[in-house]
Amino acid sequence: MLSEKQKLVLIIFLTIAFLSYSVYLYTFLPYKQRKISEQCVKGMDLWQKYNCNACHQVYGLGGYLGPDLTNVYSKRGPEYIAAFLQSGTQIMPKFNFSEDEIKSLLAFLEMMDKSGKADPRTYKINKDGTIEY
């Protein structure tokens, strides 16, 4: 059995360990490590303002009229996307974006592309059952 003094030391030790680990965790949160440019934030605002998600999906969530755009940046490239946004198609509306707005949307799509892969078929499954993408 632990003496009263030993119990006190143990409680103090555990409290300090808990507090230090909490401070460590909240100081190095993953989202704080990632720097998002202002252009990218503007792109995200445009994405919401024009409701691209009504027709497009991100990680499979969204409307199903158009394709999933999570990895469109690496799949199609910026020139293709810019051309698409400038001219629209019969089904995709033409939004009359300015040069700067197109750059912002490209920055947003690039950031989203780097966040991971949306298509589960492109995952690599390891022998221990974990996945890499």
Using CB under 6 A as the criterion, which residues of the chain lie in contact with ligand HEC when the complex forms?
50-52, 54-56, 65-67, 69, 72, 76, 81, 84-85, 89, 91-93, 95, 105
Beta carbon of residue 31, minimum distance to ligand HEC (angstroms, whole number): 23
Beta carbon of residue 86, minimum distance to ligand HEC (angstroms, whole number): 11
Nearer to ligand HEC, 34 or 49 (CB): 49
* DSSP conformation letters of 3-48: -HHHHHHHHHHHHHHHHHHHHHHHHT-HHHHS---HHHHHHHHHHH
Nearer to ligand HEC, 42 or 66 (CB): 66
Beta carbon of residue 17, minimum distance to ligand HEC (angstroms, whole number): 47
Beta carbon of residue 132, minimum distance to ligand HEC (angstroms, whole number): 24
Q: Helix, strand, or coil here: 131?
A: strand
Nearer to ligand HEC, 59 or 84 (CB): 84
Nearer to ligand HEC, 93 or 131 (CB): 93
**3-state helix/strand/coil string of 44-97:** HHHHHHCCHHHCCEECCEECCCCCCCCCHHHHHCHHHHHHHHHHCCCCCCCCCC
Residue type (1 letter), 93: P
Rounded to a whole number, what is the distance in angstroms from the first to the last CA of the chain?
50
